[in-house]
Structure 1
Amino acid sequence: MKPKSVGIRDVAKHVGVSTASISRTLNNPESVRPELRVRIDAAIAELGYIPDAAARALSSRRTRTIGAIIPTVDNAMFARGIEALQTYLSLQGYLLLLSTSDYDPETEARQAQNMVSRGIDGLILRGDTHTDALRRLLASQRIPFINVGVYHPEKPYASVGGNNEAAAWRACRYLIELGHRKIGMVAALSANNDRATARVAGVRRALAQGGLSLRPEWYIEVPYHLDDARQGARALLSASDWPTAVVCGNDVIAYGVVLEVERRGLNVPGDLSVMGFDDLEWSRHLRPSLSTIHVPTDEVWTRAGEYLVKSLAGRPVALHHEVDVSLVVRESTARPRRTPLRKNPIQAHRS
């Protein structure tokens, strides 16, 4: 037999309140007293009431759905951020709709159009490299959006993140303070990636201030994969002269560099100091543990969700928010050898 459906009137009768109170709890939980909200939530769970999303959308002109477009799911940092975002949105009664762009602005614009056609209320985007068509679409549909992973207070678009250029400058400056004068970089692909571009700019600025430069043969761009990072390390160490320290575009790239250095019988940090960026969970468990820049990923994505929820509720919220990033010193960085190793590491590996 088909089970009897439970309606909003049944919930209201069970709690002893009006259907309007139930509706407010579902559509705007923060407008209801906490003790009443607890009672209503308990009644909904007990009775097995499932709100009609379509009916709610028609009455409120909202679907309580937030879209998020990230470059890829094959990145621990994005996975962690999305988990934090979904946890926050769920507590606010919102659904998360997720898509990927593969770092392609045109793909991102198409995915955004698909999300808008499905009635999203707000949108979270990674970085600030978007097509003009996407910006026009969001403006014409009056859909609030926020860029995560960047902090651009001079722009009219909402942003939440750290200052990538300043953070990379600090990472490189630390290596210079240790005494390194031969510093390279294995960066992420900079095309359509303003975060990667800013980090490269920060490293170059720190080197320039120290009277140094980033030699062309010591600068390599790779995708966010261990195999590609290891290949980048091979290229870096293939010359007769190589750096004593390297700044990596993120922790995953740093893992690949460390693995390749160790595979060749060399030592981190004795033969090469390695600096990461992001401070993923594995970074403190590696041996050697990874020196890196800590980025509060959970906070970034939670604040992005908070911005949209408050904006949609008509509540005041800051357009830009800068999160604090910090240098974390661990085992993968040290002062350079007084007598630098001169033998080509590839030859050493083959001998």
Structure 2
Amino acid sequence: MTDKVGTIRDVARMTGLSTATVSRVMNGNPKVNPEMRAEVLRVAKQLNYVPNPAARALSTRRSKTVATIIPTIEHSVFAKFITAIEQTLAARGYNLVLAISNAELTREMAAAEQLVAMGAEAFILTGATHSGELLDMLERRSIPVVFTSIFDGASAVPTIGYDNTALATAAIEYLHGNGHRTIAVAHGPTAESDRTAARCRGVLLASSDEIETPLVEVALSVEGGREAARRILEMSPRPSAILCLSDVLALGVMFQLQSMGLTIPDDISIMGFDNLDWSKDSHPSLTTIDLPATRMGDVAARQVVDRLETSAPMTSTRLPARIVERESVRRVT
């Protein structure tokens, strides 16, 4: 048997305040006297009173809900990102609603329409490639939107993330600095991800007469990494290093090489991109690029809430990422 749940009128009666004042407290109005706020919250807790979200939305014309659409939830880099968004929004009294697009623009559009119908007040989207129909819908409704996982200071829509092109260039330069001249690059489908396409551009920018960087496109999965390794080992001359533009691919590459009796990094060096949770515990531990997924989620959520609360402009923000040196890359002479 559960305790009786109180109503807003019960809270008003026990505190001696009006229902309007109780409502302002529960909706987070900053103009309420701190002592009065504390008393209302104390009584609300005692009565198990929680405002009905639908009723609150009707009375305030605010759902206090932010929508995020991501391509997948399978990789921990997105899990970190979503967790940071949810925690930051919750601390400001907002809710998160999430949808998965599977990197399909039509599915993303359908999800966005449903989220708008649910009352989403702002959108946090991954990457910069989205249908014109989606962006037009948000603009017509004056719904703020921010792009993440990329940085583009020239973008008309604010971007919060990192420079994928520059990071890929830095990875090739790091491997070249360790003596590698032929560096195979395994990557997922560029048609499905503008972040992958940007990383491939960075690889090509680093290529020169001294650095060969053959590209191998495969499915973004562990099995895709296995396939990439098999294709790379057939190359002549065989690359001394493999840069994987995702740690997921790096894991598959490592599995395949080890199953074929090759030793990492003595026979071939491996470098990843993401710094997923397991990368420090692989054998050998994976040298990779640490992406600021948690910080990105926090900054995006803060900017969105500030925009909704005070009309503060959202600004493109470049977040730092770094190479994490571990055991999977060796220096060659």
TM-score grouping bracket, smaller chain normalisation: over 0.9
Give 1:345's aligned residue.
none
Counterpart in the other structure of 1:253: 249
AA of the residue aligned to 1:252: V
Show the counterpart of 1:174.
174
Bigger mean CA deviation after superposition, 145-154 or 78-87: 78-87
Q: In the alignment, what sits opposite 2:308?
A: 312
- The alpha carbon displacement at 1:138 in A equals 0.2
Unaligned runs of 5+ in 1: 339-351
* TM superposition score normalised by structure 2: 0.93
Equivalence map 1:1-351=2 (5 Å):
5-15=5-15, 17-28=17-28, 39-208=39-208, 211-215=210-214, 219-336=215-332
Deviation string, structure 1 residues 215-258 (Cα, Å, up to 9, x no partner): 3xxx1122321112111111111334321111111111111111
Deviations 1:283-318 (A, max 9, x none): 111121111111111111111111111111024254
CA shift, 1:22, in A, is 3.3
CA contact (8 A) 2:4 2:47 kept: no
Give RMSD over aligned pairs: 2.2
CA 1:206–1:313 in structure 2 vs 1: closer, same or farther (change >3 Å)?
same
Q: Which amino acid aligns with 1:289?
A: S
Amino acid at match of 2:6: V
Give the secondary structure class of the aligned counterpart of 2:310: coil
| Partner SS, residue 270 of structure 1 | coil
CA distance in 2, matches of 1:295, 1:92: 25
TM-score computed with the length of structure 1 as normaliser: 0.88
Q: How many angstroms does 1:19 deviate by?
A: 3.8
Q: Which moved more, 1:42-51 or 1:32-41?
A: 32-41
Give the distance between the partners of 1:167 and 1:36, measured in 2 at CA: 52
Question: What letter matches 1:155 in structure 2?
Answer: S
CA offset at residue 87 of structure 1?
1.6
Q: Structure 1 residues 161, 9: closer, same or farther in 2, change over 3 A?
A: same
The 1:90–1:256 alpha-carbon spacing in structure 2 relative to 1, beyond 3 Å, is same
Deviation at 1:11, TM superposition (A): 2.6
Amino acid at match of 2:196: A
Alpha-carbon separation, structure 1, partners of 2:324 and 2:163:
16
Supply the distance in 2 between the matched residues of 1:5 and 1:288 (Cα, whole angstroms): 56
- 2:211 and 2:145 map into 1 onto residues whose CA distance is 40
Aligned residues: 333
Q: Work out the CA distance in 2 between the residues paired with 1:130 and 1:103.
A: 10
The Cα of 1:145 is off from its aligned counterpart by 1.1
Q: Partners in 1 of 2:35 and 2:148 — Cα distance?
A: 34
Instruction: Determine the C-alpha separation between the residues in 1 that align with 2:259 and 2:42.
Output: 57
Is the contact made by 2:270 and 2:286 (CA closer than 8 Å) also made in structure 1? yes
Note the C-alpha offset of 1:40: 4.1
Residue segments in structure 2 that go unaligned for 5+ positions in a row: none
Relative to structure 2, which stretch is displaced further, 17-26 or 105-114? 17-26
Q: CA deviation at 1:213?
A: 3.5
- Residue type of the partner of 1:119? G
Report the CA distance between 1:49 and its aligned residue. Answer: 0.7
Report the CA distance between 1:184 and its aligned residue.
0.8
The percentage of aligned residue pairs carrying the same residue is 35
Q: In structure 2, how many angstroms separate the alpha carbons of the residues matched to 1:334 and 1:277?
A: 17
Q: C-alpha displacement at 1:195, in angstroms?
A: 0.6
Farther-moved stretch of structure 1 (67-76 vs 12-21): 12-21
One-letter code aligned to 2:287 = S
Equivalent residue letter for 1:45: K
**Partner SS state of residue 67, structure 1:** strand
1:54-75 Cα deviation digits (max 9, x unpaired): 2211122111111111101111
Cα distance, 1:14 vs structure 2: 4.2
TM-superposed deviation, 1:183:
0.5
How far apart, in 2, do the equivalents of 1:280 and 1:134 lie? 31
